[in-house]
Amino acid sequence: MTRKPLSILIAGLFLAAPAAAQNLGAQWVQQGSVTLGGIWTDLDGQDTAKAEQYRDLRDGVISNIDLRARSGTGLWLDLFGENFGRDDMYVGLRGGQYDAWKFRLYTDWLPQHRAFAARTPFGGSGTNQLRATFPRPNPATWETTDISYQRKDTGGFFEWQQNSPWYFRVDANQVESEGTKIGASSNGTSPGNGFVDLAIPVDYRTTNVSVEGGYSTTKYQFAVSYTLSEFDNANETVTWNNPFWANGIDSSYLAPDNDYQRLALSGSVRQLPMNSTLAARATWDRLESNVNLATSALNGTGASAIGATNPNVGTFNGDVENTTFSVSLASAPMKGVDTRVWYNYADRDDQSTHVEYNPVSGLACGTVVVGGVSRPGPCDNELYSYTKWNVGFDAFWRFSQGQRVGGGIEYQDVDQERPDYDEVQNTKFFVEYRNTMLPNLTGRIKYTYLDRDSNFLLSEEGANTNDVLYMERYIGRYDAQPLERHELKLTGDWSPMPLMDVSVEALWKENKYKRSGQAIEYAAASLPPYDEFLGRTKDKRWEIYGSLSYGDPSKVRATLFGDYEKVKYDSYHRNIGAGSCPTTSGGVTATNCFDPGTPQNSIAYNWSARNEDENWAFGLGVDWPAMANLLVKASYLYVKTDGSADIQSQNNFGNPLPITAYDDTKTQSFNLKGIYTYDKHWQFTLGYAYEKYTYSDDQYNGFQYTIPFPGNTTTTSQSYFNGFSAFTNYKANIVYLLGTYRF
């Protein structure tokens, strides 16, 4: 597939702006600033990548430039750039001629640092060939690797408006990412065989070009646009030595190249009867990708190390088309009344290749029963297509000065190709009241109710209660499971006195998941009756935010804010400690294992969990003009997240323990800077920043690089980790000094 046409288009875009500016007038008015300084950072932590996850804190020079130029002929030019030569650099150039043409060119760099001192038993990190000779039980002998990549987005646009009301625009950009990211793969064919962390190579390039033309007046607006995007991955596989299969060369498959195109039509008509505006939009897009399928896989040692995967086709042809259409009519049929009615349609047609890998020994997906005999099951992909539409109406009425009430209703219908739910319907309505009667007080309250129903397809899965597929009858996936949602939102803004502003916002939301009709009917016939389902049963969310600002900006002004959020997720599950039933283990015999309504025992039992997340945020900022030419700014920010999981099981089977540290974090930051204005040209800034970040999670507390630990030379199913996300705590002291010349 050739890439030349896109390269030519991008080059043409970058040449268009200078060519259009050849006739710049001589009478220009320029103003702006140039800043130059330095930054000094003291970082303390075992691995300080978290401190620099999206920024560059290295000691060195920091600079920025901000230039603006205007001419008497309507030409204008803006140049802004910051952090030149650093990993988080940005440079943008904009310009044009008023009511004629305009352009923009930019490059935006963003680092993604996740681990500077990760350890790995593999050599060749950053490449697509990771090599090691296992066992390697001693992490002290491993290599150190950097799990980071750099993202660079470079592009721009050119728009021609000279022939108003007609216009034409072309956009283009290229996003390049290079480095490594975290990855992992299983060693054998089950979780009990262990797994290894991998440093996956990142060498991506996405090229986008779009053209748009249209007609725009105060009454009419029409536009047509076409977008073409191409994604290239220089490494579509990474190979590595598998410790479970005696260092055999295994392969992990990465994202393949793909092409995307999109056509969009949009238009609107204003000034219709009843002060109406009619707007419509239609789009069509297509995503394609072709990749050769693996015909063999590592599945043993010695002469039988490589096993045939037996795909039914040799090439996977990815082909997904999406079509959308939306139309809305907004009207004001009478004084104080606003209405809106809308309709949206979306269709996803997945025409990709259906792939099925015929099972062989050791390479299978579950089992199938043929003639009462269990056999290895095939592995195949699930194609996902759907047709979705929704229609809605809302209306608002200003029944008196400063008071507004309204409501609306919306219905959505989804028909989809999915093995568990083929139909989903959502009905939602809301009511809202807004009051702006007082000049210094405004408030709004909104209640929303959502009811979702769906058609469950797995109510007769499995031959009997000893068939693993039987449990599918009880599993509810929360993205399509029937539910009722209640949501209440309050907002208020108050200015009780001059120079004081108060703002409050609160939200409460509750989801209650219900059983589908088919599952209820079938379960009612089972003995004993079972009236629960497996999966998420309900969740709640509370949020409250408040801010207070007070003071005269010419003297001193302070802003205080606080935020609290809490989320609870309740769920119900079943544990099966056997591959098949009936079975006997430890003197316990279990039958009908895959029916959650059967009596519980230590082999097959139900358990429940409640996950909770609490978040607190508190901040204070002060601006103080200490002198006529000295402004002091100070701020403090405190953010804390606290997660937990309470797990229970009947008769304490499995001895479940609560998880008290479940993604707990605490971040504190303090900033202080003084801005001294020497004269109308020169300004100097001296600043200090302190940050402290702590992380606690039972998944990482007491982290070790191998399981089992200490590592040994006799266990082929040993797991090897690289320390990703295990050592993120840090402290940072940052000092910077800047000098700015303004003209």
Instruction: Dump pLDDT digits (tens) for 635-661.
Output: 999 999 999 999 999 889 999 999 999
Q: 268: part of which helix (H) or strand (E)?
A: strand 258-272
Q: Which two tokens stand for residue 17?
A: 């702006």
Instruction: Dump pLDDT digits (tens) for 710-742.
Output: 999 999 999 999 999 999 999 999 999 999 999
Q: Range with the lowest mean pLDDT among 11-15, 455-459, 700-704?
A: 11-15
What CA–CA distances, in Å, run from 269 to 220, 221, 272? 5, 7, 7
Return the biggest CA–CA distance within the chain.
96
Region 437-442: what's the mean pLDDT?
A: 89
pLDDT at residue 515 in the model: 81
C-beta of residue 75 within 8 angstroms of C-beta of residue 30: no
Q: Match 């302070």 to its residue by tokens.
A: 558
C-beta of residue 694 within 8 angstroms of C-beta of residue 727: no
User: What share of the chain in percent tops pLDDT 90?
Assistant: 79
pLDDT band at 367 (very low <50, low <70, confident <90, very high): low
Q: Which two tokens stand for residue 732?
A: 């940072």
Does residue 1 have a pLDDT over 50?
no
pLDDT at residue 362 in the model: 63
Strands (E), 335-440: 337-350, 356-357, 367-370, 373-376, 379-380, 386-400, 403-416, 421-438
pLDDT at residue 530 in the model: 44
DSSP readout, 572-586?
A: EEEEE-SSSSSEEET
Q: Which residue type does 222 have?
A: F
User: What share of the chain in percent tops pLDDT 70?
Assistant: 92
The DSSP output letter for 163 is T
Region 498-506: what's the mean pLDDT?
A: 96
Distance CA 473, CA 466 (A): 13
Q: Range with the lowest mean pLDDT among 39-43, 113-117, 356-360, 626-630?
A: 356-360
pLDDT at residue 244 in the model: 94
- Could you give the residue ranges of the DSSP H alpha helices within 294-399? none
pLDDT at residue 3 in the model: 41
C-beta of residue 56 within 8 angstroms of C-beta of residue 48: no
pLDDT at residue 87 in the model: 96
C-beta of residue 551 within 8 angstroms of C-beta of residue 448: no
Distance CA 354, CA 579 (A): 29
Q: Which residues contact 704 (CB under 8 A, 6 or more apart)?
A: 721
Which sign does the torsion angle of CA 326, 332, 336, 341 carry? negative
Does residue 540 have a pLDDT over 60?
yes
C-beta of residue 662 within 8 angstroms of C-beta of residue 645: yes
Instruction: Dump pLDDT digits (tens) for 483-495.
Output: 999 999 999 999 9
Does residue 202 have a pLDDT over 90?
yes
Q: What share of the chain is helix, strand, coil (3-state, %, to 5)?
A: 5, 65, 30
C-alpha closest to that of 76 among 52, 90, 93? 93
Does residue 292 have a pLDDT over 80?
yes
C-alpha closest to that of 539 among 497, 499, 511? 511
426 backbone dihedrals φ, ψ, rounded to 5°: -120, 130
Mean pLDDT, rounded, of the chain: 91
What number of other Cβ atoms are within 10 A of residue 609's Cβ? 18
Does residue 9 have a pLDDT over 50?
no
Region 480-484: what's the mean pLDDT?
A: 94
pLDDT band at 97 (very low <50, low <70, confident <90, very high): very high
306 backbone dihedrals φ, ψ, rounded to 5°: -105, 125
Say what the alpha-carbon torsion angle 229, 234, 237, 242 is, to the nearest 10 degrees.
-140
pLDDT at residue 371 in the model: 61
Distance CA 313, CA 308 (A): 13
Region 250-256: what's the mean pLDDT?
A: 94
pLDDT band at 571 (very low <50, low <70, confident <90, very high): very high
Helix (H, G, I), strand (E, B) or coil at 49: helix
pLDDT band at 524 (very low <50, low <70, confident <90, very high): very low
The DSSP output letter for 6 is H
C-beta of residue 684 within 8 angstroms of C-beta of residue 678: yes
Instruction: Dump pLDDT digits (tens) for 672-689.
Output: 999 999 999 999 999 999
Instruction: Dump pLDDT digits (tens) for 407-416.
Output: 999 999 999 9
C-alpha closest to that of 460 among 518, 377, 415, 515? 518
Region 580-591: what's the mean pLDDT?
A: 88
Which sign does the torsion angle of CA 359, 363, 366, 369 carry? positive
pLDDT at residue 133 in the model: 95
